[in-house]
Amino acid sequence: MRLLALLCAFVLTAASIVAIAQPAAATDINDRIASVRAAQASAERAMRALDAQVERFQAQRKSVNQELKREERKRNAMGAAVATAKAVLVERTARQARVEAEYASPDEAPYPDIYRQRLQTLRKEIRVAEARRVSLIRQVQAQTRVIRSKKSQIQNIDRQRKSAVARRSGAEGSVSAYIKQMTDLARIKAEQQTTVELDGQSEAFSWPTIGRISQPYGCTGVSFNPRKGSCKHFHDGIDVVSAYGTPVRAVAVGVVAYSGWNPYDKEGRAYVVDVVHPDGFVSRYGHLIATNHVRAGELVYTGQVIGKMGSTGKSTGTHLHFELLLGGDDVNPVGFLPAGVVRVDKTTTKAGQAAKARAVRAAKATPTPKPTPKPKPSKTLKYPTATWEDIEAFELCPDAKPGEECDPKDLLARLGRESDGAPGVPRPYRATSPASS
């Protein structure tokens, strides 16, 4: 009995120690997440500020480069004017030499006064041409100094831009390190959740939203998808199309590892949310509307709204880009999601595009038959002697006979019970496949 009592006391002591250690561990991981989140936010702000600085330097360089091109065009025009002035000077000097060679002195000319006036005019034209040539040369030299100053300004802007780019690369490296730390902490937190916190949460994935798949996973014919392996254009996720602002939900329980603008590419997938799951999967949601529904380090559950469908980044329209990663490598999400919730748009696949092309060729080859004219509706009522109440009941209850009662409210209520909902009310979100229910 004494041994049994000691054993029970030991078990109770160990359980109390574990119970005390779990909140402490949870508090420690949350503190570390908060610290990394603050440091990551600071690094992202610095990176965005450096992005703006780099863009400002690029705009300044573009403006100064345009000014440089204008100044170079001015100098080229001045150079052409200098060449023209030099040609005029050479022509006038050659003419003066020819005139002076005609007579040894003006007195020997038939008309000495006219000969002297001709020589004076030529000497004056030569002086004017020389003065213009010297003036233009000075202007070209001044314009060259202006161009040299513009080039020096461009070199200074380039040095500042390179320095900002280097500092931006350092900030991006810091952000990448913080994102990796946050991902590791999120995975630890996801694995440390107790069964009470995850009670009722299914291990299977659910669909992140409702709609249709506009672009499947794998090789596609979309030109802006990058090359991967033997695929010329590879899509590393699926695109689900629906209305703007459609809720996007977590596919399984997990911890948010990143939520915000894509730190590596301003276009890319723009506003993204990454969720780490306890089983080693990472789900990624892209092109969301920039709303902070969740933040890094937050625990999310299956079906919880983590964002809204948008078109941020390199997007051709409103859709959700959904990725599923396992061990850092992307996998086909359709293989892990329930069937029947969304339908695939086969026109985006190669087989679908080939079938569409064949259908178009067949339609062009087959002449279109002329449509048969529809008969004009009769203006006479089925019951000419019916009252307005009977006509309204007849429009809602075509099977009713004269004299029978037909309440439109009862008919609408019956239709609402038989359908998915009342007219105008959207269908509710289904976390699992309708086919499996």
Name residue 34's amino acid.
A
| Residue scoring higher pLDDT (218 or 227) | 218
d(C-alpha 335, C-alpha 237), whole Å: 12
Give the pLDDT score at 221.
57
Q: Given its phi and psi angles, is residue 187 left (phi above 0), alpha (psi -120 to 50 degrees) or beta?
A: alpha
d(C-alpha 172, C-alpha 117), whole Å: 81
Residue 25 has pLDDT above 70, yes or no: no
Give the pLDDT score at 432.
39
How does residue 198 score in pLDDT terms, banded at 50, 70 and 90? Answer: very low
Burial class (CB in 10 A: 0-12, 13-18, 19+), 222: middle
pTM to 2 decimal places: 0.55
Query: Which residue from 158, 165, 170, 176 is spatially nearest to 51, judged by alpha carbons?
Result: 165
CA–centroid distance for 18 within its chain: 47
Tens digit of pLDDT for each residue in 228-267?
656 666 777 888 888 888 899 999 888 998 888 876 665 5
Contacts of 349 (CB under 8 A, 6+ apart): 216, 220, 221
Task: For domain 18-192, give the CATH number.
Answer: 1.10.287.2610
Mean pLDDT value of segment 64-73: 93
* pLDDT over 90 percentage in the chain: 21
Tens digit of pLDDT for each residue in 136-155?
999 999 999 999 999 999 99
DSSP letters for 136-182: HHHHHHHHHHHHHHHHHHHHHHHHHHHHHHHHHHHHHHHHHHHHHHH
d(C-alpha 87, C-alpha 94), whole Å: 11
Mean pLDDT value of segment 201-214: 76
Distances (CA, A) of 370 to 359, 360, 367, 375, 377: 19, 19, 9, 15, 21
Q: DSSP state, 425?
A: P
Consecutive H or E run containing 354: helix 350-365
Give the pLDDT score at 193.
66
In degrees and rounded to multiples of 5, residue 135 shows phi and psi of: -65, -45
* pLDDT over 70 percentage in the chain: 67
Protein fold of 212-355: Glucose Permease (Domain IIA) (2.70.70)
d(C-alpha 141, C-alpha 157), whole Å: 24
Ranked by mean pLDDT, which of 200-214, 304-318, 400-414 comes out on top? 304-318
231, two tokens: 């695929």
Mean pLDDT value of segment 282-294: 87
Mean pLDDT value of segment 158-167: 92
Mean pLDDT value of segment 121-125: 90
Mean pLDDT value of segment 103-121: 86
Instruction: Give residue limits of the domains in the chain.
Output: 18-192, 212-355, 383-415
